[in-house]
């Protein structure tokens, strides 16, 4: 796990994130950008809006028919009893309108769900693709759980809002406007009484929305922390670490502490605005009773107000309750979701440090295999500016087909060299040349396509051996898999498994031994068949027997390729064509194994130390 327990990790992540976003826009056009997400779905959105408008228009007619049912059907002027035929026609029309409204509602639900979830799905994929384009340094600074939370919790948190916003906003707005028009037609005096306090409610809603937006931000940050804790503690490595140090209880407490924070925030989120909505509900519910008093006052003042008018007006006014509450709730949800969208766009606004220049070219196939450093300087982005650079004036050239080894003390900069060749980082000074061209002028995809990497920390997916191998070449045949595995000295081992190449390796390949995982990784690189191979201490974590087997596989993989081997055990590189000794970020020595021993310098000292310590096979060389 990276970092220690508790919120210190989250704090450092937040600081790193603020630094990453120093040049990102402050999202002033957030609403416009949210609206732009719907642009590809203009047609279904237009149909949805049309259905909502029709539904809202049809929905306001039944209350007006109620007036006719009272004044023409139940209590017709000049008749002693109800006019049943007229009443049947009116009731029939009301039932027909309700059926039409129900059908329109089903269609709206389908379209809004389809559009809303499609928008969210596209946003999720867009965010995932953008994260895939980020440079390696971004992922060394940010915990995996935090990234997962942006994809799952933040995007999921706005999915429901977007799915319901179109239907709710348009439908409720039209319903409210139509109801207001109908109320004005019935009685403008009673309408003034019914809506006089609505502006005050809107202002109060804005204050409540600001509070809920702040709580939403805190809630998502807490969810990010919980996701990070889960990803760290419940991974295979995390479980092994916790059990090895009997820290299971501490991990449970760490999760419980964050869970308590999350519970508190969820309760605050649920309760924020509840008193506001309770007051709104009471206010809108009391209005009909007030209308009766106003109607009595109007009648006493000589205004012609019929019983049908009062019943129709209170019916229409009661229909304002749910649309008005719906609009206020949507407004609150939108204010809340803005905080989530800001977190999503914060990631989308990050600019990858490694991008193709305009006019970037492909690797020259006639010179592929040439690798050179020309006075390369490098300092990691988050390194102290007052400290020494990781690499200082490194210069060397490697011809195609050469086996070049890089050795030196820990922290000298050997692995950094292996990062700069495939441009996982950019040099801060000088130039890294690949096939005769500066790597910054090459298409990154073309560059990576010509480089294979076998690192000390082998990563295998929780899938079958065959699926892990085909990650390098999806169209590879079974015969090609077997050939690669034979070359990597792993075929016989795989064949001994009950399921053979269909064996599931488990998370990160934990069902295989270290040597077996390394040889599967070597076979995977052989399937890619790159002209340049980088071996980053590929045997340093293995025992002597496994090292010998894996080293044989590495020798086979290196045959006919330009190979850059980062080595800790000097015994593994004594046969290299050239050995570069890196010390304090500089090339201290270069030459073959015998030449460097004769020079009696840094290499000779390191070799003697390993020989004396018995930590390598040097004495058997």
Percent of the chain with pLDDT strictly greater than 70: 79
How many other CB atoms sit within 10 Å of the CB of residue 264?
14
Write the pLDDT tens digit of every residue in 479-523.
999 999 988 888 999 999 999 999 998 877 788 888 888 889 888
**For residue 15, is pLDDT > 50?**
no
pLDDT tens digit string along 191-241?
Answer: 777 676 666 666 666 666 667 667 777 777 777 778 777 777 777 667 767
Residue 474 pLDDT > 80, yes or no? Answer: yes
For 484-496, the pLDDT digits (tens) are 998 888 899 999 9
Residue 175 has pLDDT above 60, yes or no: yes
Ranges 97-101, 288-292, 340-344, 421-425: which has the least confidence: 288-292
Q: What is the DSSP string of 397-447?
A: EE-TT-EEEEE-STTSSHHHHHHHTTTSS--SEEEEEETTEEGGGB-HHHH
Measuring CA to CA, how many Å separate 188 from each of 305, 321, 402?
A: 12, 19, 92
pLDDT of residue 373 exceeding 90: yes
Is the per-residue pLDDT at 78 higher than 60?
A: no
Q: What is the CATH number of domain 8-348?
A: 1.20.1560.10
Work out the pLDDT band at 597, boundaries 50, 70, 90. very high
Distances (CA, A) of 336 to 162, 271, 548: 12, 14, 59
> Is 60 exceeded by the pLDDT of residue 249?
yes
For residue 303, pLDDT beyond 50: yes
Q: Is the pLDDT of residue 360 over 90?
A: yes
pLDDT for 546 equals 65
By the 10 Å C-beta count (0-12 exposed, 13-18 middle, 19+ buried), 209 is classed as buried
Which strands form 403-407's sheet, in the order they lie side by side? 451-455, 532-536, 562-566, 403-407, 578-583, 586-591
What is the value of pTM for the model shown? Answer: 0.71
Segment of 161-165, 184-188, 415-419 carrying the highest mean pLDDT: 415-419
What tens digit of pLDDT does each residue of 314-324 get? 777 766 666 77
**Beta-ladder partners of 533:** 452, 563
pLDDT of 374 over the 50 cut: yes
Q: Which fold is adopted by the domain 371-620?
A: Rossmann fold (3.40.50)
What are the extents of the domains in the chain? Answer: 8-348, 371-620
Residue linked to tokens 């809340």: 336
Q: Strands 562-566, 532-536: parallel, antiparallel or unpaired by DSSP?
A: parallel
pLDDT of residue 551 exceeding 90:
no
Q: Which range is least confidently modeled, 99-113, 149-163, 347-361?
A: 149-163
* pLDDT single digits (tens) 389-422: 899 999 999 999 999 999 988 888 999 999 999 9
Render 286-349 in DSSP notation, one character per residue. Answer: HHHHHHHHHHHHHHHTT----HHHHHHHHHHHHTTHHHHHHHHHHHHHHHHHHHHHHHHHHHHT
The gap between the terminal CA atoms of the chain, to the nearest Å, is 37
Cα(34)–Cα(338) distance, integer angstroms: 9
With b for 16 or more beta-carbon neighbours within 10 A and e for fewer, the 595-607 pattern comes to: ebeeeeebbeebb
Determine the pLDDT at residue 162.
66
What's residue 176's pLDDT? 75
């Amino acid at each position: 796990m990276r970092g220690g327990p508790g919120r210190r990790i989250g704090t450092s992540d937040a600081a790193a994130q603020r630094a990453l976003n120093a040049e990102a826009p402050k999202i002033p056009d957030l609403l416009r950008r949210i609206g732009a997400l719907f642009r590809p779905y203009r047609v279904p959105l237009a149909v949805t809006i049309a259905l909502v408008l029709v539904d809202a228009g049809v929905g306001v007619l039944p209350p007006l028919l109620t007036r006719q049912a009272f004044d023409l059907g139940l209590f017709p002027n000049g008749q002693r009893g109800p006019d049943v035929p007229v009443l049947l026609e009116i009731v029939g029309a009301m039932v027909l309108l309700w059926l039409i409204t129900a059908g329109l509602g089903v269609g709206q639900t389908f379209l809004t769900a389809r559009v809303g979830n499609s928008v969210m799905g596209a946003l999720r994929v867009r965010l995932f693709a953008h994260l895939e384009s980020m440079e390696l340094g971004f992922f060394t600074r940010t915990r995996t759980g935090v990234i997962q939370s942006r994809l799952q919790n933040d995007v999921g948190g706005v999915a429901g809002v977007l799915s319901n916003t179109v239907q709710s906003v348009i439908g409720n707005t039209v319903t409210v406007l139509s109801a207001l028009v109908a109320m004005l037609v019935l009685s403008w005096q009673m309408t003034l009484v019914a809506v006089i306090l609505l502006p005050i409610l809107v202002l109060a809603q804005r204050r409540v929305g600001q509070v809920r937006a702040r709580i939403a931000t805190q809630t998502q940050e807490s969810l990010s922390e919980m996701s990070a804790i889960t990803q760290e503690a419940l991974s295979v490595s995390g479980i092994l670490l916790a059990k090895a140090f009997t820290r299971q209880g501490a991990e449970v407490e760490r999760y419980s502490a964050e869970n308590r924070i999350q519970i508190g925030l969820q309760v605050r989120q649920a309760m924020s605005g509840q008193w506001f909505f309770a007051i709104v509900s009471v206010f809108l519910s009391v209005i009909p009773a007030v209308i009766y008093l106003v109607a009595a006052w109007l009648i006493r003042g000589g205004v012609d107000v019929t019983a049908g008018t009062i019943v129709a007006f209170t019916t229409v006014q009661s229909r304002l309750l749910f649309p008005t509450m719906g609009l206020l709730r949507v407004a609150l949800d939108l204010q809340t979701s803005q905080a989530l969208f800001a977190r999503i766009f914060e990631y989308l606004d990050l600019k990858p440090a490694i991008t193709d220049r305009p006019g970037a070219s492909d690797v020259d196939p006639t010179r592929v295999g040439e690798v050179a450093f020309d006075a390369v300087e490098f300092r990691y982005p988050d390194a102290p500016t007052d400290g020494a650079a990781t690499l200082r004036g490194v210069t060397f050239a490697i011809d195609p087909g050469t086996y070049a080894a890089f050795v030196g003390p820990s922290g000298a900069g050997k692995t950094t060299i292996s990062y700069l060749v495939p441009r996982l980082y950019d040099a801060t000074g000088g130039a890294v040349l690949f096939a005769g061209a500066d790597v910054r002028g090459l298409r990154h995809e073309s560059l990576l396509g010509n480089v294979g990497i076998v690192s000390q920390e082998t990563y295998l997916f929780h899938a079958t051996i065959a699926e892990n191998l085909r990650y390098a070449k999806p169209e590879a045949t079974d015969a090609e898999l077997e050939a690669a595995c034979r070359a990597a000295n792993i075929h016989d081992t795989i064949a001994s498994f009950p399921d053979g190449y269909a064996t599931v390796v488990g998370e990160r390949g934990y069902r295989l031994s270290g040597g077996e995982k390394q040889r599967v990784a070597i076979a995977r690189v052989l399937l890619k068949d790159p002209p340049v191979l980088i071996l980053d201490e590929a045997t340093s974590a293995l025992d002597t027997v496994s090292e010998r087997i894996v080293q044989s596989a590495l020798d086979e993989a290196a045959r006919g390729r330009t190979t850059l081997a980062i080595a800790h055990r000097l015994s593994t590189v004594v046969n290299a064509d050239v050995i570069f000794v890196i010390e304090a970020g500089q090339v201290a020595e270069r030459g073959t194994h015998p030449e460097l021993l004769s020079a009696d310098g840094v290499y000779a000292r390191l070799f003697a130390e390993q020989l004396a310590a018995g930590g390598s096979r040097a004495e058997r060389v």
